[in-house]
Amino acid sequence: MTTSAKLCAPLCLALLSACAPGGPSYRVYISNEGSGDLTVIDPGRMEALATIPIGKRARGIHASPDGKLIYIALSGSPFAPPGVDESTLPPPDKSADGIGVFDVAANKMLRKVPGGSDPEQFAVGRDGLLYVSNEDAAGLSFVDPQQGNVLSTVPTGKEPEGVTLTPDAKYVYATSEDAGTVTVVDTATRQPVKTIKVGRRPRGVAFLPGGSRAFVTNENDATLSVIDTGKLEVTQTINLGPPLKPMGMAMTRDGTRLYVTTGRGKKVVIVDTATGNVQTSFEAGDRPWGIALSPDEKLLFTANGPSNDVSIIDVATQSVLKKVKAGDKPWGVLVLKSE
């Protein structure tokens, strides 16, 4: 039996189980930065079905608009955690940079397309265009994954990371960890329209469903900046308090609650988006980062880097039901409905 068949056999059996009456109609995909692979989790059985090689430093992960493909940001740049003297690091392997394209039905990597230098996070437009943060190049690249071309690159400030489209897809917001800013880029003109000062080391951006406000996680300030998207300015700062390190976010469909991972704080915080008040917090895992809700919003999934696992959390009881082993340094979480 080939390696692909060995990987596919248990996956196909599990997919039959997942799609059975009463079973979950979705799967959970985890990008593993350390091992450069993709872990597929069956949420019904609460176990990993397969871990598939993808490429170096797999980080940002999103589905194509039709849900048939998964895109994963890959990078050949060496790990450079805060405080490390980058002059002592080995040179980057630029041949490893790109966006991996994974076929969901076939359960295999199809190809890698250019994504600019050192891609980390990205957003996917309705037309399939990708908006990619290039960490070592201080820019945001517009990428056509079908043609495999970088169409243009816009400056964003050093160490860009979080990239999110407004709900109407007219603008894309990109954070700069180094500058402590969010750059707002017009997707039609591909030009920056404003740079907004937020907190220190901003990580991610999440919008209310209507797009009136954006929430930005500021890791080193233990805060969230709230941006009025009409005024393009910060109108509120939500203090989570140390030792919490706000990182990833998942917004409920109705926009009333925001779930925030807190890295070394080990918790998930629930924020009331109407008031900005912290409703509660609960233990999630060892340095939770990537986060996503199940389609029915009854389960929450967090990627816990140092412990190489994914927490499956019951939203109602705010308790961890199980921790599922993933690859090395799980980074991103994607919940994708089955066809």
pTM of the model: 0.92
Task: Count other Cβ atoms within 10 Å, centred on residue 316.
Answer: 8
Q: Dihedral sign for Cα 112, 115, 121, 124, please.
A: negative
Terminal-to-terminal C-alpha distance of the chain: 27
Over range 13-32, report the average pLDDT. Answer: 68
Over range 216-242, report the average pLDDT. Answer: 97
Q: What pLDDT score does 80 carry?
A: 75
Q: What pLDDT score does 23 carry?
A: 66
Q: Kindly report, residue by residue over 247-306, the tens digit of the pLDDT.
A: 999 999 999 999 999 999 999 999 999 999 999 999 999 999 999 999 999 999 999 999
Q: What pLDDT score does 6 carry?
A: 40
Over range 45-49, report the average pLDDT. Answer: 97
**136 with 163: CB under 8 angstroms?**
no
Q: For a pLDDT cut of 70, what percent of the chain falls above it?
A: 92
**264 with 242: CB under 8 angstroms?**
no
Q: Kindly report, residue by residue over 72-93, the tens digit of the pLDDT.
A: 999 999 987 766 777 788 899 9
Over range 139-146, report the average pLDDT. Answer: 97
Q: What pLDDT score does 84 carry?
A: 72
In whole numbers, what is the pLDDT of the chain averaged over residues? 93
User: With 80 as the cut, is the pLDDT of residue 229 above it?
Assistant: yes
User: With 70 as the cut, is the pLDDT of residue 3 above it?
Assistant: no
**144 with 159: CB under 8 angstroms?**
no
